[in-house]
Amino acid sequence: MHRFEVWAPIPRSVGLYLDGDIHAMQRDASGWWRADVAAQPDSRYGFVLDDDSTVLPDPRSPRQPAGVHEPSQLAVLDEAGWTDAAWTGRQLAGAVVYELHTGTFTEAGTFDAAIERLDYLADLGVTHVEIMPVNAFNGVHNWGYDGVLWYAVHEPYGGPAGLQRLVDACHARGLAVVLDVVYNHLGPSGNYLDRYGPYLAEGANTWGRTINIAGAESHEVRRYIIENALRWFREFHIDALRLDAVHALVDHTAIHLLEELAVETARLSAHLRRPLSLIAESDLNDPRLISPRSAGGYGLTAQWDDDIHHAIHSAVSGEQQGYYGDFGSLSGLVRTLEHGFFHAGTYSSFRGRQHGRPIDIRRTPASSFLAYTCTHDQIGNRAIGDRPGSYLAAGQLAIKAALVLLSPYTPMLFMGEEWGASTPFQFFTSHPEPELAEATAKGRKAEFGAHGWNTDDIPDPQDPETFSRSKLDWSELDSEPHARLLDCYRSLLTLRRTRSEITDPWLTELTADYDEDERWIVLRRGTLRIAANLGPDPVVVPVGGTPILWWEEPTSAETGATTTIPGHSFAVLETNRKT
């Protein structure tokens, strides 16, 4: 016998559909319906609400083999498929994260195809593989943020068994796995949760109606989220979760959902005897997310830090449109690198208000912040999804890499950036509904057309070619200029791995000098000096030492007091003096 259960306080009656038959279910006082019925391991099932004959998928469906509108399927991972019994996990401090999209990471776009590239990632120096969302959504390809069944794994990628094989293969190579999960909204097609219960709240965020995590009957909705997170850790052996856009979680209860999740995660971590990490994406610039609960924080492990990206990108590229408006100066770059946030209770012209809260750099390690030159957002949310390599010189890409990989922060790479991939990463969808497809395409063009872009240049998200263009071209690795940039990344990651002053997470040990006019910056990390020339012409920086890594070979003065750095280049110098 198998126990089927579903929380559905809204309907007056719920029937269990199982392999063509309907079975009665019994309701308890809290709105849970249950039935004990004999079933096969691969039985198809769903629920029929009230007098509607439509079979709806299980909100906690483990598998949707025919799509998100069809019945669910019982699916239990084969425990014999795991070979990672000796895996003890990896802490996030000291890590190097690599973000990838399963559908475009390889030509085949599957979990099994991704396994074939894991040796490359391990050799590169990556420690954590971050997978963009894989929960079930309608259509074949998508960024993953339109998921509607959070417990199911997207079938075209390989379904739950395919994800199991990928995680197991990562662990066999010493790679931890970070899974991107979305708890702040649901996709536009295939969301039946509001038929079952009060999963949605009044009001909306950027992506649609908000999730009911603080209103009436929100307890079960919160449990729906927390138990989903714990399931990835427990059943799929995931090591960390990246929590999408937590600023869109509207929670005014005494114990925030994120704090509750952190408590439950720590409890499970102790039981599994391996570190489990929670990484927030947040637009708040609020260090309380990662502050310990004993200090009044939520107790998350880390958070993405867009300010570091904006400060580096704007200073190197010169772009100052949109949210780059306050960035671009070297003084702002140094302030951000030394203090974690650029906006820390300061005025944001993009938002038109004060923004952020200062970080206590004496008590908050920089390893709690992820730094990056690229993310899926920072590329894909550009009008044409162009990567920095399409408009920056190779030396500028190398400077950005050096500033991130040799910083005290936890570095994250976005797939292909390490060789300056020429393929774009564009916004793509495959909504089967014609009206939704048309609305998505028109909305994309209207959004960027309002900012002055030629709408003819903006790719149609629904065009299959938009998806195909976004796939990495792995044949580029051995050709120039890609091979040289890849070698630079390898060298930077080797230096990070071998020198303890690079992974030292305390910002109190980082100091910097700069010249706004001549466009150079020097970071001091122990006895190492990272000197970068962001301008096109050679400059003399007032620091000496033995060059041990560079993009274009620098020239040191005879006295050793200065070094000439070629244009759009960096050098790492070894000195005899600590910071």
142 is in an annotated binding site: no
- The answer to whether 244 touches 184, Cβ cutoff 8 Å, is yes
Known binding residue 244? Answer is yes
Which alpha helices (DSSP H) does 144-205 contain, by range? Answer: 159-172, 193-196
Identity at 558, one-letter amino acid code: E
DSSP for 244-285 reads: TTGGG----SSS-HHHHHHHHHHHHHHHHTS--EEEE--SS-
* Residue 251 labelled as part of a binding site: no
- Residue 381 is assigned to a ligand binding site: yes
Q: Considering 130, 146, 244, 476, which one is annotated as catalytic?
A: 244
CB 417 within 8 A of CB 374: yes
Q: In the β-sheet with 44-49, what is the strand arrangement from edge to edge? A: 21-24, 14-18, 44-49, 72-73
C-beta neighbour count of 19 within 10 angstroms: 12
Using CA atoms, how far apart are residues 119 and 86, in angstroms rounded to an integer?
Answer: 19
Contact of 11 with 49, CB cutoff 8 Å:
yes
271-300 in b/e burial notation, b at 16+ Cβ within 10 A?
eeebbbbbbbbbeebbbbbbbeeeeebbbb
Residues 6+ positions from 358 with CB-CB distance below 8 Å: 287, 339, 341, 344, 345
Count the Cβ atoms, other than its own, within 10 Å of residue 460: 18
Positive or negative, the CA dihedral 283, 286, 292, 296 is negative
Please identify which of the residues 58, 281, 418, 504 carries the catalytic annotation.
281
376 is in an annotated binding site: yes
- Annotated active-site residue 281? The verdict is yes
The answer to whether 309 is a known ligand-binding residue is yes
CB 95 within 8 A of CB 128: yes
8 A C-beta contact, residue 84 and residue 136? no
Query: Would the annotation count 307 as a binding residue?
Result: yes
**Is position 213 annotated in a ligand binding site?**
no
**CA of residue 518 relative to chain centroid, distance:** 35
- CA dist 99 and 101 (Å) reads 7
Q: Look up residue 117 and give its DSSP letter.
A: T
Give the residue ranges of DSSP H helices in 273-413. 306-317, 330-339, 376-380, 394-405
Q: Is 377 annotated as a binding residue?
A: yes
Q: Does 243 carry a binding-site annotation?
A: yes
246 is in an annotated binding site: yes
378 annotated as ligand-binding? yes
Do 43 and 19 contact (CB within 8 A), yes or no?
yes
CA distance 18 to 73: 10
Q: Are 281 and 244 in contact (CB under 8 A)?
A: yes
Q: Which residues are annotated as a binding site for substrate?
A: 242-247, 306-310, 376-381
Q: Which residues are annotated as a binding site?
A: 242-247, 306-310, 376-381
Active site residue ranges: 244, 281
